[in-house]
Structure 1
Amino acid sequence: MDPELAALAATAGTTLVSSLTTEGWQRARDGIASWWRRSQPDRADAVTTELDVTRDDLIAARADGDAGTRAELGTEWQGRIRRLLVAHPEAADELRTLLAELAPSAPAAPSVTQHVTASGHARVYQAGRDQHIDER
């Protein structure tokens, strides 16, 4: 498979699953269902139902504190979308457009806040990424 289409499918799976637990979930569901309908009309109703089931699973997993379900469902949808793109590569541009529309309703990356207190002769090193300390 074309690596660009594989990356698009990965992004779409993650964005879709993330969108299903936001206020814009219906827009995400309807957008993917419409996109699917144009390529595989016979599967569109089943996809809509599967999206509703995925949303229910995500809500239940969040209530149970199950963090792994979101990633699992994202991977599942990534595979479904990848298979559709393999069969219909011409649908890629439309999917990119849809993802751009859904992006505002996808949750932003969590922010990181660091707090530290040091006393006496303590040393504190904090970094948001790589940190190299060369003490001699």
Structure 2
Amino acid sequence: MTGATTLVAAMATNVWEGTRNRVLELVRRRDADRAAALRVQLDGDAGLVLEEGEDADLVRDDLVRPWARRIAALLRDHPEAADDVRAMVEEAALPHSAQSWSQHITAHAGGAAFGAQGPGSSVHVHHHRPASGDAPV
């Protein structure tokens, strides 16, 4: 899953070409016939991400599972490729300064919601007391 998430996150970024080439080489060494079709798939998916602009993250979310299945199948058939997948993840990882996280948590009708993520996170607690007539029946 980490390999798929990293691969998809790299699409339409400055690390995409190197990441794509690393994946293609990884596959080419094990199945040269499959590499050409995979290149078309990679370029097509990266094109989808690029076309969506502001909605690119939604497209990336949709692409993670299919790529996770493809990478899992590769590792099932070629367990020796695990080190190559790890190397791709390390090479494609965006520097911490370029990473950002966003999280939205909502509580309704007297509920409480908590959340934290990333280094140096803090938790902010907000209580919502429903006005009269807002309480659930």
TM-score computed with the length of structure 1 as normaliser: 0.69
The answer to whether 1:51 aligns with 2:42 is yes
Instruction: Give the Cα separation in 2 of the matches to 1:83 and 1:130.
Output: 42
The answer to whether 1:17 aligns with 2:2 is no
Out of 48, 53, 59, the residue aligned to residue 62 of structure 1 is 53
Instruction: Give the Cα separation in 2 of the matches to 1:103 and 1:85.
Output: 20
Mapped contact 1:33–1:44 kept (Cα < 8 A): yes
Mapped contact 2:27–2:34 kept (Cα < 8 A): yes
Letter of the aligned partner of 2:63 in structure 1?
L
Q: Which residue of 1 aligns with 2:79?
A: 89
Q: Which residue of 2 aligns with 1:102?
A: 92
Q: Which residue of 2 aligns with 1:129?
A: 123
Q: Please report the RMSD computed on the Cα atoms of aligned residues, expressed in angstroms.
A: 2.7
Quote how far apart the aligned CAs of 1:109 are. Answer: 2.9
Q: Number of paired residues?
A: 109
Letter of the aligned partner of 2:28 in structure 1?
R
Q: What percentage of residue pairs aligned between the two structures are identical?
A: 32
Quote how far apart the aligned CAs of 1:47 are. Answer: 0.8
TM-score computed with the length of structure 2 as normaliser: 0.68
Quote how far apart the aligned CAs of 1:104 are. Answer: 3.4
Letter of the aligned partner of 2:25 in structure 1?
S
Instruction: Give the Cα separation in 1 of the matches to 2:59 and 2:94.
Output: 23
Instruction: Give the Cα separation in 2 of the matches to 1:19 and 1:67.
Output: 11
Q: In the superposition, relative to structure 1, how do residues 130 and 93 fare at CA in structure 2: closer, same or farther (>3 Å)?
A: farther
Structure 2: unaligned runs, 5 residues or longer: 104-115, 117-121, 128-137
Structure 1: unaligned runs, 5 residues or longer: 1-9, 113-126
* Deviation digits for residues 54-75 of structure 1 (CA, Å, limit 9, x no counterpart): 0111112235x36432111111
Instruction: Give the Cα separation in 2 of the matches to 1:97 and 1:83.
Output: 18
Where relative contact order (Cα < 8 A, 6+ residues apart) is larger, the structure is: 1
- Runs of 4+ deviating beyond 4 Å: 130-133
Instruction: Give the Cα separation in 1 of the matches to 2:39 and 2:30.
Output: 14
